[in-house]
Amino acid sequence: MSRIVSSNIGYPRIGAQREWKKLLESFWAGKLPEEQFLSGLETLRLAHLKVQQEKGVGLIPVGDFSLYDHMLDTATMFGLVPKRFAYDGGPVPLATYYAMARGTQGAPACEMTKWFNTNYHYIVPELNGLTPALTVNKPLEAYREAKRKLGIDGKPVLIGPYTFLKLSKGYAPEQLDALIELFLPLYKQMLTELEQEGATWVQIDEPILVTSLSETDMERIADIYSQLHAAAPGLKLMLQTYFDSVEHYERTVALPVQGIGLDFVHGAERNIAALRTHRFPADKALGVGLIDGRNVWLADLEAKLQLLDEVSALVASGTLIVQPSCSLLHVPVTTRTEEQANAELLPFLAFADEKLDEVVLLSKVAAGERTDAVRSGLEASARLVRELNDSPFRNRVTVRTATRHIAGGPSARQSSYSVRHILQQNKFQLPLLPTTTIGSFPQTPEVRQARKRWRTGEWNEAQYRAFIQEQIQAWIKIQEELGLDVLVHGEFERTDMVEFFGEKLDGFLFTRNGWVQSYGSRCVKPPVIYGDVEFVQPMTVEETVYAQSLTSKPVKGMLTGPVTILNWSFVRDDISREQVSYQIALALRQEVEALESAGIGMIQIDEPALREGLPLKQQDWQHYLDWSVHAFRLTSAAVKDTTQIHTHMCYCEFHDIIDAIRALDADVISIETSRSHGELMQSFDEHTYDQGIGLGVYDIHSPRVPAVDEMVRTIERALSVLEPELFWINPDCGLKTRGVDETVASLRNMVAAAEQFRARCAKA
C-alpha cells in the first residue's frame, strides 16, 4: 500500500487583490520606502503560506515567492549582473535587481521571453563571461522564515542547474560543460546548508526535461544529480518536471534523487505509457501532477481518481505525492472574490485555492478516507462536470456546422504577395521605410477613470463614447504632428487585447478578479472560453471609422488574432484547442469583412502569442503550426488584394517558426525584437523573408527614451539582411503601459531615425 501525501509546487505571488502588484508599483514610484516595501511583501508571503497550511497541504513550497521573477532571483542569487549595471559584488541591491528587469536610462533591461509555452515572461540571465558566486542562499532564507514564523517545515524550491543554464544566454554551446562545473559547487553549497538546517524535501525544478533533449544532455544531467546527491545525501530531492511528459523517461527515473514529479495533465498520455512500459523505481516517491495548474476548470475527480488508481497499481509500495501539474502561478488566486461574476458558471471554476482543495481531497480519498465531507466533494464534482458538458452553450449546432464548413474551405488570398504589394503601394503611396505603431497608446489615469465611471454607471454610453472620441481625436493629431505615415486609433476603449474581444463574442466568461502575472507587475485577466464562440455584431468598426474620418492618412483596423485569443484565454477542455481556434477565426473573419466594408484598407490581426503555443517537443510542432496558420488565414483571406493585412508577434525565438511566419501570408508583419535583435538578425541571415516586415526599433517595456542614433543602428542592422522597400519602422509592441511624454519623445526620435535613413537612401 502506497503512502499518500499532498503537495503544492508553487503558489501565485500577486495576492487575491493584486496586493503584490500594488506594493511593487508604489515602491517604483517612490511612494513606499524600501523597509516598508519589504515588510509588506513579507506579510503577503506569509499569508500565502498560511492559506496552504490551513488547507492541510502536506508539502508546502517555500522560496517560490519572488520580488519580480524566479529566474531573475536565481541570477542575482549567483551575482550574475551584466556589467552595464555597475554591480561590484555581494548581495545584489534592490535597485540593481529592478534595473535588470526594467532598465534605466543608461542601461537597457535584460531580455524577457516566455517561460516555456506559458503566458508568463521571465528575465533571461546573461552570463557573458561572468563568474557566479553564491551571494545569498535564498531557499535557505525562505525555509527559515516559514519554520520560524509559521511552524511550517517547508519544501524549498529552486530552479535546477540544467534548466537555468539552458534558458540563459551569453555563452557558446561548447562552453556549457565548463559552466556546469562553475555552478555545481554553488548548488552543492545551497543543498548542504539546507540539509544542515534540517530541511526534509527540496524541490528542484527541471522543466527542461520535457523538451527534446539529446543523449549528451541526459549524460550531463546524470552527472549533475550524482554530484548533488553526494553533496547532501540526507536531503530528499524532488526532481520536478511539468508542462509535458519527460523526454527520456528511463534515464530520468534512474537519476539519484528521492522523488520525481511528472505532469499527468499536459503530459498524461506519454507519461502513463512510459509508466506502464517501464514502471517506476521502488526507492523513489512519485509526484503525480493530477490537477491542472494551467486552467481554471473544476476537475473531474472521478476521472482523476481512476488515473491515480492506475498509477498506484504501476508503482511499488512507497510514496505517492498528489499535486498540481505545475506551479499555480499560472492561475488566479481564488474564486472567493468572484461572488458577482456569472453565477451560472462560477461553480464550474477552480482557481489556485480551489485546486489545492482538490489536491487535498484526492489525497484523502486515495489514503482511504471516506468521511461525509469527502463523499460530498466527490458527488458535487461528478454532478457539476456532467452539467457543464451537457450545457446548451457548449453544444451550439449552428456554430459547430459553420466552423466545420469554414475549416474545410480555402484559406488563401486571391493573389500572391508580389501582386498585392504593387496594388497596395499604388493605393497608399507610402514613403520608403513607412513609420507606424503597433496599435495602443497610453492608458492614462484619465482613460482608466473614464472606463470605471462608465462600468459603474456614473457615465452613460453617450458620455463614454464622447470621451473615447476625444482621445482618438487628440492622438490622431499627435500622430500627424509627429509625422507617422500609418496611424492607429489608440485602443482607448480597450482594457486588454483579448478581454476586449471576448466581451463582445458569445462563449466567453469574464471574472472580476481572475488576475494572473504576465511579467513583473503586469497582470492580466484572461477570458474564460466556456462555450462555443459566436460573432454577435461589429466590435471595432465605430472607433476605427471615426479615426479614419479625422485624417487623410491610412488608419489601421486593430484586431487580436484567433490563436492569440486562444493562447491568452483559459480554454474549455472538452474539445480540442484546434476546434476552438477555428470557432474564433470564423467570428473574427466576420469582423474583418465588416471593417473592409466600412472602408478600412489596412487591418492588423495581431498574433503575439502564436510562438508561445508551440509544443515543447519538436515532434509535435508541425501539427500545431499547421492549424495555427490555417486559423489565421481563415480570418484574413477573404479580403480584397488592395486591403493590406498586418500582423504583430511578441518575444520569441522566431527562427523556430520562420516558415510558419511566411505561411501566414500577411502583407506586413511586425516583430517584437528590441531586447534580442541580434538573434533575430541571424535568423534573417539564414532565411530569406520577402514580404513586408517591421522589426521593433525600441523597447516599450522600459521607461527609457531611446536616442535617435540608437534606433539608427538598429535599422542599419536590419537593412543589412532585409530589403528597404519592404521594411517598416515601428516600436516593438503597443504603448498602452507607457507615459504620454516618453511615448511622444520616443516616437519623435523614431520618425527622425526613419527620416535620416530615407535621406541616406536618396543620396545612394
* 90 assigned binding-site residue: no
- Active site (annotated) includes residue 701: yes
What does 345-393 look like in DSSP terms, one character per residue? TGGGB--HHHHHHHHHHHHHHHTT---HHHHHHHHHHHHHHHHHHHSGG
**Within 10 Å of residue 371's Cβ, how many Cβ atoms?**
10
Q: Distance of CA 600 to CAs 4, 131, 492, 668, Å?
A: 61, 55, 19, 16
* 440 assigned binding-site residue: yes
* 35 assigned binding-site residue: no
Burial class (CB in 10 A: 0-12, 13-18, 19+), 659: exposed
The CA-based dihedral angle spanning residues 323, 329, 332, 336, taken in that order and rounded to the nearest 10 degrees: 50
* 117 assigned binding-site residue: no
> In the structure grid, which three cell numbers stand for residue 536, read together?
454577435
3-state secondary structure of 490: strand
Residues contacting residue 711 through CB under 8 Å, at least 6 positions apart: 697, 698, 749, 750, 753
* 672 assigned binding-site residue: yes
Contact 154, 104 (CB under 8 A): no
Contact 137, 91 (CB under 8 A): no
Q: Distance of CA 763 to CAs 261, 434, 757, 759, 760, Å?
A: 63, 18, 10, 6, 5
Amino acid letter, residue 575: I
Report the distance separating Cα 521 and Cα 72, nearest Å. Answer: 14
- DSSP secondary-structure letter at 155? E
* 522 assigned binding-site residue: yes
* 386 assigned binding-site residue: no
Residue among 70, 266, 421, 701 flagged as catalytic: 701
Q: What's the gap between Cα 368 and its chain centre?
A: 39
* 733 assigned binding-site residue: yes
* 21 assigned binding-site residue: yes
* 114 assigned binding-site residue: yes
At which residue does the C-alpha cell 478581454 appear? 499
H/E stretch holding 276: helix 268-278
* 439 assigned binding-site residue: yes
* 19 assigned binding-site residue: yes
Alpha-helical runs (H) found in 445-529: 445-455, 461-482, 499-504
* 502 assigned binding-site residue: no
At which residue does the C-alpha cell 544529480 appear? 225
> In the structure grid, which three cell numbers stand for residue 202, read together?
527540496
Q: Distance of CA 670 to CAs 112, 145, 212, 376, 629, Å?
A: 18, 47, 29, 53, 16
At which residue does the C-alpha cell 487580436 appear? 560
* 110 assigned binding-site residue: no
> In the structure grid, which three cell numbers stand for residue 313, read together?
497499481
* 369 assigned binding-site residue: no
- Binding residues for L-methionine are 438-440, 491, 606
Residues assigned a catalytic role:
701
- Binding residues are 18-21, 114, 119, 438-440, 491, 522-523, 568, 606, 612, 648, 650, 672, 733
